[in-house]
Amino acid sequence: MGNFVDLISKIADMVWGAPLLLMLLFTHIFLTVRLKFIQRHIGRAIKLSVTKDELAQGDVSQFSALATSLAATIGTGNIVGVATAVAIGGPGAVFWAWLTGVFGIATKYGEALLSVKYRIKTSDGTMAGGPMYVLEHGLREKYGLKVTGKVLGVLFAVFTALAALGIGCMAQANSATGMINDVFGIEKWIIGLALAALVAVVIIGGIKNIAKVCDKLVPFMAVFYIIGCIIILSMSYKTIPDTVVLIVKSAFTGQAATGGFAGATVMIAARYGVARGLFSNESGLGSAPIVSAAAQTRNPVRQALVASTGTFWDTVIVCAVTGIVLVNTGVWNQGLSGGELTNAAFGTFGTIGKVVLTVALITFVFSTILGWSYYADKAIEYLAGKKVAFMYKICFIVFVFFGSIWSLEVVWMLSDIANGLMALPNLISLLLMSGVIVSETRKYLWEDNLDAISEGYIEVDK
């Protein structure tokens, strides 16, 4: 068994190695340049996210689509993932994670735009879209790659379904039950049954039911966590300026060994900061565009702008706040692992720190399960139709329970592999279809319709 675990670990490291990280980072920068720094429209995008578009086709509002994608995106990676980056790469890793989020906004914009453009209406009148449809229909339409596009679309859908069972289901359930068991002493199987029942109640109703819950849950959990972190930071506000300076300075000079910290070079800080930033915001992985395709929007650019705010909130705000809290406590230099560092940092603030961390992790985990259930549902629907997708949904609920009670070291690594492999076909579509992204952006945002932009959103094209 040990050899098998070692093999899976090596494969996971290989998948999430330098080639994939560089490809993701290259795509972020490439699209940022081609789209003339689309990030400058983030204010307009935020206004648009809370603007109803009653006249447009779609299953849920633009805000609901954003909330559902954020539900899946804002998870343990925003807390424990950032802590892991700091534990290995030092304070400078926070800066690189933040910078990755800034550039990742362009990639999230591009993949959402393509998913809306190439979405289809199914036999029951609901929308279906995502990288699998972009690969199949987009590559065939633009390059005549009928077979290649279909194969890549199938691969993406398969990897999505596998990743959903692992990182989007079992691993999340395991994190939540572990936390609740540690804090309240409740048996894991009881927590697992309750969690599975709650998930079942929500996801059986489909996207509209999931979106309805996420509409309420995501704003609450994000605001609660950010306000909690602000309160924590206010308790040691005098050291915040020095902390910010340390984060920026360490990003370009590395961090010498202090206390139990092993020391980190600029390369190590950049590597782990970029890796955890990419993993956290999912820009380029192709997951979030699946729900963007369900949004009520008049044209692809509107929803693309809304979707891009997901990376802004996830990494530029939430991960940055987490990083500042972790570094500001000073416990980062004690040689602790990611999970230990998280508990130690928030634990330094007594009850309030433990409450913020516990509530955040539980709500983050539950929302992530809901979001990933929809991604998997659409992936299976693409592969085998709605009946099989419903059967998968039942399996997903069962796996929530088993994830709560099993040891998941191998599951974590296998789901990491599937998660990384999702990105490859999606990045291929983004790079090959970048001309379409630019063309649609020019059509609705750059030239003819500039005079139609009013009150922070784009009017329907004439």
Alpha carbon distance 272, 92 (integer Å):
10
pLDDT of residue 305: 96
pLDDT of residue 449: 54
Alpha carbon distance 251, 367 (integer Å):
32
Task: Give the mean pLDDT of 3-19.
Answer: 85
pLDDT of residue 265: 87
Give me the count of residues in the chain.
462
- Computed over every residue of the chain, the mean pLDDT equals 89
pLDDT of residue 78: 87
Confidence of residue 461 (pLDDT cuts 50, 70, 90): very low
Cβ–Cβ < 8 Å for 366, 202: no
Nearest to 168 by CA among 391, 401, 375: 375
> Which residues face 454 on adjacent strands?
457
pLDDT of residue 141: 94
Alpha carbon distance 375, 285 (integer Å):
12
Higher pLDDT, 34 or 258: 34
Give CA 407 to chain center in angstroms. 24
pLDDT of residue 70: 92
pLDDT cut 70: percent of the chain above it: 96
pLDDT of residue 431: 97
Higher pLDDT, 190 or 412: 190
Strands 127-128 and 453-454: unpaired
HSE at residue 63, side-chain half, CA atoms within 13 A, is 16
Q: Using one digit for the tens of pLDDT, what is the confidence trace for 287-298?
A: 999 999 999 998
DSSP 414-451: HHHHHHHHHHHHHHHHHHHTHHHHHHHHIIIIISTTGG
Task: Give the mean pLDDT of 193-212.
Answer: 93
pLDDT of residue 462: 36
Task: Give the mean pLDDT of 377-392.
Answer: 95
- 387 burial type by CB count under 10 A (0-12 exposed, 13-18 middle, 19+ buried): exposed
pLDDT of residue 12: 84
- Residue 31 to residues 237, 313, 330: CA-CA distances in angstroms? 37, 19, 37
DSSP 208-228: HHHHHHHHHHHHHHHHHHHHH
Statement: residue 452 has pLDDT above 70: no
Alpha carbon distance 233, 228 (integer Å):
9
Which residue, chain included where needed, has tokens 């290649």?
A: 148
Q: Using one digit for the tens of pLDDT, what is the confidence trace for 50-109?
A: 887 766 788 889 999 999 999 988 887 888 889 989 999 999 999 999 999 999 999 999
pLDDT of residue 176: 85
Higher pLDDT, 77 or 422: 422
Task: Give the mean pLDDT of 249-270.
Answer: 88
- 193 burial type by CB count under 10 A (0-12 exposed, 13-18 middle, 19+ buried): middle
Alpha carbon distance 211, 308 (integer Å):
18
pLDDT of residue 439: 94
Higher pLDDT, 115 or 262: 115
pLDDT cut 90: percent of the chain above it: 61
Q: Using one digit for the tens of pLDDT, what is the confidence trace for 321-376?
A: 999 999 999 899 888 887 788 889 998 888 888 889 889 989 999 999 999 999 99
User: Which element (helix H / strand E) includes 115?
Assistant: helix 92-117
Alpha carbon distance 84, 68 (integer Å):
26
Higher pLDDT, 385 or 454: 385
Statement: residue 453 has pLDDT above 50: no
Task: Give the mean pLDDT of 379-400.
Answer: 95
pLDDT of residue 1: 59
pLDDT of residue 456: 40
Give phi and psi for 51, each to the nearest 5: -105, 125
Cβ–Cβ < 8 Å for 89, 370: no
What's the token pair of residue 361? Answer: 């992790």
Q: Lowest-confidence range among 2-6, 142-146, 152-156, 220-224?
A: 2-6
Statement: residue 162 has pLDDT above 70: yes
